[in-house]
Amino acid sequence: MTFEITSEFLENLSKLIELKKNKAIEKLFEEVHYADIAEVLDEVNFDEAIYIIKLLDSEKTSEILTELDEDTRTRILENLSAQEIAEEISEMDTDDAADIIAELSEERQKNVINALEDIEHAADIKELLSYKDNTAGALMAKELVKVYETWTVAGCLRRIRGQAKDVSRVHSIYVVDKKEKLVGRLSLKDLIVAKNDQKIADIYISAVDSVNVNEDDEEVAKIMSKYDLEAIPVVDDNNVLLGRITIDDIVDVLKEEADRDYQLAAGLTQDVDSDDSILDLTKARLPWLFLGLVGGVGAFLIMEGFQGVFAKYAALFFFTPLIAAMAGNVGVQSSAIIVQGLANDEVKGSINSRLLKEMLLATLNGVILALFLFVFVWLYEGKVNTALAIAVSLVVVIIMAGLIGTFVPLFLDKRGIDPAIATGPFITTSNDIFGILIYFLIAKLILGI
């Protein structure tokens, strides 16, 4: 079942395109899944991609377009007329259609929508475009199978045959009243098992989960994965059925969310992948590095302030990278645990109890690590005082780093800010500076300098 893009395949394809052997190209792609064709198009050169898109029929190319890498798709769409794009769009489900139209300039959006032949499809797409990004409305599709509670099973089966043709997958049949308000659901299974003359009103299940059209998409993802739902109906404030969201869209939301958290933790400000241009990658990386530079200058100023101590206690200075690394690592660990807990709704109880727990944890880790460091410095330098000062400072720095790492994401979350930005470079940089400052202050105190 798996299709591998080989260099022979690509060479063969190039040759066929050069010779304009259209029949052979169509045959080559006949048995290939559209997701695989999309990968081929990401590999071939741009003119070849355009050639293939224009050659294959729109039933196939519409699916391919939805699977393409956004950069490639943008360039291809720029080379198609509004009429050609409308042809592709008319083959797509409303949610995919709206996503792709949203990538066009406002003027082209209008032209493409006007070029759509199916007026209802056009109205649905317009409606979807009107919802805010990252809401249930922006995620949902208008395609669904809907029956009225007054229908009979037989009438229902007859009528949904028509509706079902437009819906690629029937998860649930939604039951509405005369005012189009959602009252319940049915599965195809229930319908098959029921007798022909039964009324829908007698067999539908009235317990139906739904989400409001303005609900945040990450919240929808949480609800669907918590309750193991494969589709969820979307309603407006009056409970009127507007559309439905399916689990495959949720998989994409979850992936994006995980990718973003991971990138923030790694110090990347925007969604980039390894194939992006050097300029895009620099834009994503440089701001965090600049933050690190500022932090490093801060550490420099602190150390310079203590330079009088160097003559007698040079070792103190040589351990600053260790102190900074520990403060950074502990901070990232504790913030990551909190960020993940918040994402999974697992963080309960007060901030104070969290901070207390982190303090105990950091003390335990800190004491164990400090013991090792104490023994090393004592044996290596032969000065028990210096060893003690460094070890005690390390414990305090680790506790402080743990508390900052725990507090900052909790605080941001309370303020309604995404706590994920607190992980990574932000925490490491602030902990570097605080850590080194506290380290010198405590060491000075213990050594009586």
Contact set for a copy of itself, span 100-159 (CB under 8 A)? 157
Question: Which of 18, 248 has the CB closer to a copy of itself?
Answer: 248
Give yes or no for residue 322 binding a copy of itself (CB under 8 A).
Answer: yes
Side chain identity at residue 209, one-letter code = D
Give yes or no for residue 33 binding a copy of itself (CB under 8 A).
Answer: yes
Pick from 188, 186, 230, 189: which is nearest to 208 by CA?
Answer: 186
CB of 351 to a copy of itself, least distance (A): 12
The number of CA neighbours under 13 Å toward the Cβ of 122 is 14
Strands 241-246 and 182-186: unpaired
Question: Which of 199, 283 has the CB closer to a copy of itself?
Answer: 283
Give yes or no for residue 413 binding a copy of itself (CB under 8 A).
Answer: no
Give yes or no for residue 46 binding a copy of itself (CB under 8 A).
Answer: no
Question: Which of 50, 296 has the CB closer to a copy of itself?
Answer: 296
**Contact with a copy of itself (CB under 8 A): which of 128, 173, 242, 265?**
265
Question: Which of 111, 225 has the CB closer to a copy of itself?
Answer: 225
Site for a copy of itself, residues 301 to 320, rule: CB under 8 A:
303-304, 307, 310, 314-315, 317-320
297 within 8 A of 368, measured Cβ to Cβ: no
User: If binding means CB under 8 A, how many residues of this protein chain bind a copy of itself?
Assistant: 109
**Contact with a copy of itself (CB under 8 A): which of 21, 54, 132, 161?**
161
**Contact with a copy of itself (CB under 8 A): which of 11, 103, 118, 230?**
230
Question: Which of 137, 267 has the CB closer to a copy of itself?
Answer: 267
CB of 100 to a copy of itself, least distance (A): 16
**Contact with a copy of itself (CB under 8 A): which of 432, 434, 437, 442?**
432
CB of 179 to a copy of itself, least distance (A): 19
Question: Which of 88, 215 has the CB closer to a copy of itself?
Answer: 215
Q: Please report the DSSP string for 135-176 in residue order.
A: BHHHH-BS--EEEETTSBHHHHHHHHHHHHHH-S----EEEE
**Contact with a copy of itself (CB under 8 A): which of 423, 437, 440, 443?**
423
**Contact with a copy of itself (CB under 8 A): which of 275, 384, 414, 417?**
275
CB of 320 to a copy of itself, least distance (A): 5
CB of 374 to a copy of itself, least distance (A): 12
CB of 362 to a copy of itself, least distance (A): 9
Site for a copy of itself, residues 353 to 412, rule: CB under 8 A:
354, 357, 360-361, 364-365, 368-369, 372-373, 376
Q: Which long-range contacts (CB under 8 A, 24 or more apart) does 20-27 make?
A: 22/55, 25/52, 25/55, 26/55, 26/56
CB of 222 to a copy of itself, least distance (A): 10
CB of 346 to a copy of itself, least distance (A): 6
392 within 8 A of 371, measured Cβ to Cβ: no
Side chain identity at residue 177, one-letter code = D
* C-beta atoms surrounding 63 within 10 Å: 18
Strands 173-176 and 231-235: unpaired
Site for a copy of itself, residues 175 to 214, rule: CB under 8 A:
187-189, 192-193, 207, 209-210
Instruction: Show the binding pattern over residues 10-29: x = contacts a copy of itself (CB under 8 A), - = does not.
Output: --------------------
**Contact with a copy of itself (CB under 8 A): which of 102, 154, 205, 286?**
286
Question: Which of 314, 417 has the CB closer to a copy of itself?
Answer: 314
**Contact with a copy of itself (CB under 8 A): which of 61, 393, 429, 430?**
429
CB of 365 to a copy of itself, least distance (A): 6
Radius of gyration in angstroms for the set of CA atoms belonging to the chain, rounded to a whole number: 30
Q: Rounded to whole angstroms, how far apart are CA atoms 5 and 37?
A: 9
Q: Please report the DSSP string for 363-397 in residue order.
A: HHHHHHHHHHHHHHHHHHH--HHHHHHHHHHHHHH
CB of 86 to a copy of itself, least distance (A): 24
Contacts of 259 (CB under 8 A, 6+ apart): 271
Q: Rounded to whole angstroms, how far apart are CA atoms 401 and 389?
A: 18
* C-beta atoms surrounding 136 within 10 Å: 27
Task: Tally helices (H) and strands (E) across the chain.
Answer: 22, 6
By residue count, the chain amounts to 449
Instruction: Give 48-65 as a 3 state SS string.
Output: HHHHHHHHCCHHHHHHHH
CB of 77 to a copy of itself, least distance (A): 21
Q: Which two tokens stand for residue 349?
A: 């109880």
Q: Which two tokens stand for residue 378?
A: 């004592």
Kindly provide the residue ranges of all beta strands, DSSP E only, lying in 187-248, ordered along the sequence.
211-212, 231-235, 241-246
**Contact with a copy of itself (CB under 8 A): which of 227, 382, 415, 416?**
227
